[in-house]
Chains A and B, each alone.
Chain A
Amino acid sequence: MSYITKPVARHRGDRTNGLGLTTRDYEGSMSTLCAGCGHDSVTAALIQAFWELDVEPHRVAKLSGIGCSSKTPTYFIKEAHGFNSVHGRMPSIAAGANAANKDLMYVGISGDGDSLSIGLGQFCHAIRRNVNMLYVLENNGVYGLTKGQFSASADIGSKSKKGEVNRQGPIDPVSVALTLGATFVARSFSGDKQQLVPILEAGLEHDGFAFVDVISPCVTFNDHVGSTKSYAYTRTHMHEVVQTDFVPIRSEIRTEYAEGTVREVKMHDGSSVRLRKVDENYDPTDRHAVIEYLGNVADEGEIATGLLYLAEAGEDMHRFSETVDRPLVSLGHEELCPGSEALREVQKEWW
């Protein structure tokens, strides 16, 4: 049986958050991924983010599709309901769940096969629909569970472990998200927890669809020389465009920035995101400029990272639908059923 319960080890001196919980309270089962898998680092960053945000564990709903990435919701927050659905279809489950109960915090974990091949349509429509959720794409350019086929995010010229060279152009999820109007678009690297954690935190607090593409190398099938999704390649080609700091409402400012280079964006709950431009010419609030900039960076073979684009979340699925403020699951039968008198009235119109 490959289900392994993780023992909860408590250590004297473990720091607690506002709920009195330690990071261990946000852990899940033992990971069964390969040792060194980037996805496990993403899991660790998520645990850190949820802990820092004082999220009640059982108020989280974590969802995924199928693939190595989609196993990871088992590895964090064991007190949250999880849903490991079918390949490429997590976004629709998330949309339906959110429609029914908008009060939970939704996190969807997907991969490049799950989101860019079999589930590209659902990924696109979740963006269009602006489902209020954090959507993490653990991107390694390869199919792991089926042993090493190229995925749709593999770059032209990237070599497989067997030496085959990919000749089809990649689908870049960041460009897709920007083009389709996502209001929170980030790219990060599983090997850079310092960058990743505040991005995840900001994404969780974003009041709409928040997309984070995380380059998350596959140590078994795509971490060799010639791969453009390896640890080494990502480290040497990563180009951080904006540094992000997430400032919860209750926290003091953790980082000092030089005047003039920092842009503070207030989140809906009063917390804020501070974006520090590393590149003078970069404006993370100008969608068209961001698209152009990212194109240029990609042409140079660089991987732009950071919270690349941020705007007001706009109307999410519930605002489009004009639903009541309370979650639909909380409505009682008497509020939903019109009753016998109304049925008599309706039928007067039936000739």
Chain B
Amino acid sequence: MVTSGGFGVNDFAFKVATVNGTGSASANGLLLQALFRMGIPVSGKNVFPSNIQGLPTWYEIRVNKDGYTARSPDFHLVVAMNPQSYARDIDEVASGGWILYDDTKPLDDELIRDDVTFLGLPLAGMCVDEFEGSRTRILMKNIMYVGALVALLDIDVAVVKGMLEEKFSHKKHLMDANFRAIEMGANAARERFDCPLPIRLETMDATKDCVMVTGNAAAALGCVYAGATVGAWYPITPSTSLMDGFTEYCERFRVDPETGKKKFCIIQAEDELAAAGMVIGAGWMGARAFTPTSGPGISLMSEFIGLAYYAEIPSVFFDVQRTGPSTGMPTRTQQGDLMLTAYASHGDTKHIVLFPADPKECFEFAVAAFDLAERFQTPTFVVSDLDIGMNDWMIPRLEWDDGYRPDRGKVLTAEELEEAESFYRYLDVDGDHIPYRSLPGVHPKGAYFTRGSGHDKYGRYTEGSAEYVEVVDRILKKVESAGDSVPAPQVFAGGSSGTSSGSRNAAEGASSNGAGVDEASAPSYSAPYGLLSIGGCHWAVLEARDELTRRGVDVDYLRVRGFPFNGTVEDFLASHERIFVIEQNRDEQLRKLLAIETACPKEKLTSITYYGGQPLSKGHVLEGLAAHIDVPDSPLPAEAGA
């Protein structure tokens, strides 16, 4: 049971508990969309089982007028529609909160709590009376709880009606049935309860420059905009919707109108090994190619990743992380692949890795990844997670600079090869550790043998020590030099970072379609402590930092957005007495990565970890910090998290 926090108008969280496979996902989507269209900052977290039908599933919605969108586990209302999970769901309502349930069948006495209000509606019974057919009744029961929430939370019914009209524009009978269910739910609630509840909604104007999208859809669109033509994949949760998105957008934008033929090739591979091979084969030919996968897929691809690293073949890998190890919890989130992606494959390897924090960065970093992969001729990873990839996020509208041109790196044309005296694939001609590349089929002088076996700078097979060392040393310098080209860390120093929507503006640094680096002037640090985080942790950390400021604890904050780490990260570490590294894995992978890859003594780094599979929330950060430093437990009007 969670203790009650503060709550009020446009500031609360609620949770819908249903059975998966019953159509509740579309009802919950309708809810989220309605709140967004009312202009209220909102976030939704789908907590679903690895199963098709019959198991408990939850949908968590948080509304927050200040724009905080991190997960909040303080549920002021639970819509308990699944008797299987009643005990747990009722237990999770904050004290003083509400439980909306179906009282067609009475609740067991042991489930009753006296510190919460039970709101019983005979939803199943009403559906049986009103609708025909078991499937329709199940679906309409979901719409009916949305109707009850319309009354209980004061959702603008015109917005809901508008959405139903859009959705069922060609099926009037469905529109009518759905709207009838909404009205029945709302009327039943109004008849029985004092509506609205103290937790309720008021129309705002805070979402008009935003969109709602998943990270996977945004990343997929980024691949289209970057000009990726070959996508190879093996289905795996939670990355599958990335390739679904790529397919959808390609079908829309990449079909020749005259011939109906496609300017892309998507290959569903036999496994992740083959998917990686296909990406590398296409990259070798000069196409922009990628594969979306999750941790288990990266494990399987690791041999090929080493090949692409050593043979210097551009290739892009999306790792939408889920809870490991092994099969783990496929439908829960984690940041357990930081080490895996940074050093994937045997032998000495190191890779460029980008860490988006939301769908906006998924889009931008997807584009950046193709540029970096080609510029540095090396595998490049975009590492998001299930929460970012599969949940709908409110983000500022995406923008595109039509002046963008892909950075293809050093690729020699037929004319350049014709004129060249000689061509050697792995020769560091310019002294920047990046050799010139030729593409197959372009010119006989460009021919060379691509191999994962030992090779010298001329591209010839070697078992010679000096020749081998010369090449691998150059590759290391090449990859390390990418630290200045990956998206720069985001730094928050001095004073409050404001609300999360305010912080978003600070995130707007990447001006050119995400490929660029923030032009941040060197920040000055005054706080003794630094928070350092990564990926989807960002929103909870920002919220916690604001809370800390209100409690009189000043901390600076840096979010790593790319690997290898650059000077800004070094400087941040050097400028603070102690750094708290906040991440979502058991083994403190980011802390270890910092200890390995920077000059920072490891004693200065303390981890705050959460790895239970849910997105991070403010409470995790505050509790974690309070275990190490003095955090005043000052009473606040807003919810206290811990």
Q: Which residues of A contact B (CB under 8 A)?
A: 1-3, 57-59, 61, 73-74, 78-86, 89, 91-101, 103-104, 121-122, 124-125, 129, 317-318, 321-325, 328-329, 331, 333, 335-340, 342-343, 346-347, 350-351
Contact = CB atoms under 8 A, between A and B. Distances in A.
Contacts of B399: 340, 343
B152 interface: no
B609 interface: no
B450 A125 contact: no
Given A1-B467, A321-B266, A324-B261, A89 B277 contact: yes
A93 to B, nearest CB: 4
Contact of A329 (B37, B277, B286): B286
Contacts of B462: 1, 3
B79 to A, nearest CB: 21
B284 A1 contact: no
B274 A89 contact: yes
Contacts of B261: 322-325
B85 to A, nearest CB: 29
B265 A321 contact: yes
Interface string B103-118: 0000000000000000
26 contacts: A1-B462, A2-B461, A59-B441, A80-B440, A81-B438, A82-B447, A85-B280, A85-B307, A89-B303, A89-B304, A92-B281, A93-B284, A94-B281, A95-B277, A96-B278, A122-B274, A321-B267, A322-B261, A325-B261, A328-B230, A336-B263, A338-B225, A343-B221, A343-B400, A346-B221, A350-B211
B279 A96 contact: yes
Interface in B241-280: 249, 253-254, 256, 259-267, 269-271, 273-280
B463 interface: yes
A339 B439 CA distance: 27
B211 A82 contact: no
Contacts of A124: 270
- For A121, A124, A335, A337, the residue with the greatest tally of chain B CB atoms inside 10 Å of its CB is A337
Nearest to B363: A343
Interchain residue pairs A-B with the least CB separation, the first 6: A92-B277, A96-B281, A96-B278, A100-B287, A81-B440, A350-B211
Contacts of B37: 351
A81 B402 contact: no
Contact of B270 (A58, A78, A122, A335): A122
Contacts of A84: 449-453
B273 A92 contact: yes
Contacts of A317: 265, 267
A78 B253 CA distance: 40
Contacts of A318: 265
A83 B448 CA distance: 9
A108 B259 CA distance: 32
Given A84-B449, A340-B399, A93 B227 contact: no
A92 B315 CA distance: 14
Contacts of A103: 441
B225 A86 contact: no
A177 B499 CA distance: 62
Contacts of A342: 253
B251 to A, nearest CB: 10
A336 B224 CA distance: 7
Given A322-B262, A325-B261, A351-B33, A100 B461 contact: no
Nearest to B285: A100
Nearest to B451: A84
A99 B278 contact: yes
A5 to B, nearest CB: 8
B292 interface: no
Nearest to A350: B211
Interface residues of B, number: 80
A80 B36 CA distance: 57
Contacts of A336: 224, 227, 229, 254, 263
User: What is the interface of chain A mostly: helix, strand, loop, or mixed?
Assistant: helix
A29 to B, nearest CB: 9
Contact of A101 (B285, B402, B443, B450): B285
Contacts of B398: 343, 347
Contacts of B307: 85-86
Contacts of B279: 96
Contacts of A328: 229-230, 263-265, 287
A192 to B, nearest CB: 29
Nearest to A345: B252
A339 to B, nearest CB: 6
Nearest to A83: B450
A80 B303 contact: no
B442 interface: yes
B282 interface: yes
B267 A95 contact: yes
Contact of A86 (B254, B452, B464): B452
Contacts of A323: 261-265
Contacts of B265: 99-100, 317-318, 321, 323, 328
Given A1-B463, A58-B442, A351-B33, A96 B450 contact: no
Nearest to B414: A58
Nearest to A125: B270
A100 B256 contact: no
A95 to B, nearest CB: 5
A101 B277 contact: no
Contact of A96 (B36, B227, B277, B400): B277
